[in-house]
Amino acid sequence: MNCVSTKKLLLAGAGHAHIDLLRSIINSSEPPKHLQITLVTEQPQTIYSGMLPGWMAGHYNLADISIDAQALCEQAGVTFIQQSLAKVDAASGIVTTADDKQLDYDVLSLNTGANTDLRWLNKAQDQLPANTETAVVPTQFPTQLPTQVVAVRPISLFIERWQQIIEEAKQSACYQLAVVGAGAAATELVLAAQYALRLINPNHQAYLVCGDELLSGFNQRFKKQVIKQLHRHKVQIVYERALGYSEGQLHTSRQPLAIDALIAATGVTGSAWTKHTDLSTVDHGFIAVNKVQQSISHPNVFAVGDVATRVDQKMAHSGVHAVRGGAVEADNLLAYLADQPLHSYDPRLRTLYLLSCGDKYAIASWGRYSLQGRWVWQLKKRIDKRFVKAGFN
């Protein structure tokens, strides 16, 4: 008699790759055999970041932008554990959760995303003008942040804080909100914020504090179109570096800005748990992976999306790579367990980026090309809704 042992596949984080894997198990006519799969993740629902600005602007409700990871697990026959990852001991094959439970695995897949990079808050002390009296915020993420400082990640916390900002704005005669960041996410967030705040009171004002350059890496035409939209919405663009926050003041390289709240969309840094692992990491806590999204130090560990950094080539941390790389990684997990060859994730040269502009207007960037209009928003809405419902397959 042939006795096949059951292997344990542990999925950590309900990011794009794991949502995709759950969906492919549900849709498969042949679900994987001899495999015990567990998903451990912080929240039963995964919020789709691409639709977050649309939710802030009031075009979507929370259910529209949420993917029910727990329900997908039930349908896929996967054990669901709502818990945060605290430590990965890859040498022993043990994951420890925040409530101190230990989970063992044969193969581990990491898709826990990343945290907002708040190191710029730390730099302030030595860069602020000597006469500035400031108690610059502590940067232990995220509990020690003053309530006025809101990081866009983790998104579940951001969702709570945005609702509070809206309530505060309803009580204020002139609410001042700064978004710090220079990328597409910061730009979308400030446009959505300005749109939502101005619906409450036309005196409310959003600022985009973006340093020297906005939207670096995008084509010039796209940048011009985005800046035009920022002007149309009367967002104030502050081309200065943000250095820190204290007592209602956002300190910048020139003069401080009096604000009621600050949203930080200042890139990503490694998840907190990556401080407690023997896996190889690079660049402040990203799991170092090769072209098949496999840890370079422990071959039975895979990582994809914002939690990982490819060591063989430069690749931005973005939703596009989390989704496309995630699909490849999901196949590789099953192939690795079945002793079959693994495939590399080769990103496309150009990716489509659709940037929403607060109201139902959007701008598309594709390599050197750029298009805009209400129809682009409708296209984005269709793509996003399809993704939340069924993924990109």
Ligand X SMILES: Cc1cc2nc3c(=O)[nH]c(=O)nc-3n(C[C@H](O)[C@H](O)[C@H](O)COP(=O)(O)OP(=O)(O)OC[C@H]3O[C@@H](n4cnc5c(N)ncnc54)[C@H](O)[C@@H]3O)c2cc1C
The answer to the question of residue 318 lying near ligand X (CB under 6 A) is: yes
Minimum Å gap between C-beta 173 and ligand X is 28
Nearer to ligand X, 128 or 376 (CB): 376
For 366, the 3-state DSSP assignment is strand
The answer to the question of residue 111 lying near ligand X (CB under 6 A) is: yes
The answer to the question of residue 85 lying near ligand X (CB under 6 A) is: yes
Minimum Å gap between C-beta 63 and ligand X is 16
The answer to the question of residue 67 lying near ligand X (CB under 6 A) is: no
Residues 6+ away with beta carbon under 8 Å from 130: none
Q: Which one among 11, 14, 76, 333 touches ligand X, defined by CB under 6 A?
A: 14
Burial (CB count <10 Å: 0-12, 13-18, 19+), residue 212: exposed
- Rounded to 10 degrees, the C-alpha dihedral 115/161/191/55 comes to 100
The answer to the question of residue 177 lying near ligand X (CB under 6 A) is: no
**Which residues from 329-368 bind ligand X, rule CB under 6 A?**
none
What residue type is assigned to position 389 of the chain? Answer: K
The answer to the question of residue 41 lying near ligand X (CB under 6 A) is: yes
Q: Please work out, in degrees rounded to the nearest 5, the angle formed at the alpha carbon of residue 278 by the alpha carbons of 277 and 279.
A: 90
For 209, the 3-state DSSP assignment is strand
Minimum Å gap between C-beta 305 and ligand X is 2
Nearer to ligand X, 271 or 294 (CB): 271
Minimum Å gap between C-beta 168 and ligand X is 20
Q: CB–CB of 115/272 below 8 Å?
A: yes
The answer to the question of residue 109 lying near ligand X (CB under 6 A) is: no
Minimum Å gap between C-beta 130 and ligand X is 35
Q: How far apart are the first and last CA of the chain?
A: 39
**Which residues from 138-157 bind ligand X, rule CB under 6 A?**
152
- Rounded to 10 degrees, the C-alpha dihedral 331/334/338/340 comes to 20
Q: Rounded to whole angstroms, what are the CA distances from 139 to 123, 255, 372?
A: 10, 22, 38
Nearer to ligand X, 84 or 252 (CB): 84
Q: Which one among 9, 10, 11, 15 touches ligand X, defined by CB under 6 A?
A: 15
What residue type is assigned to position 362 of the chain? Answer: A
Q: Would you mind telling me the total number of residues written for the chain in this entry? A: 393
Minimum Å gap between C-beta 184 and ligand X is 6
Minimum Å gap between C-beta 2 and ligand X is 36
Q: Chain-centre distance of CA 326, in angstroms?
A: 14
Q: How many residues bind ligand X (CB under 6 A)?
A: 34
Nearer to ligand X, 50 or 358 (CB): 50
Half-sphere exposure (CA, 13 Å, Cβ side) for 155?
A: 22
Minimum Å gap between C-beta 12 and ligand X is 6
Binding site for ligand X (CB under 6 A): 12-17, 40-43, 46, 49-50, 52-53, 84-85, 111-113, 152, 185, 188-189, 271, 273, 305-307, 317-320, 322
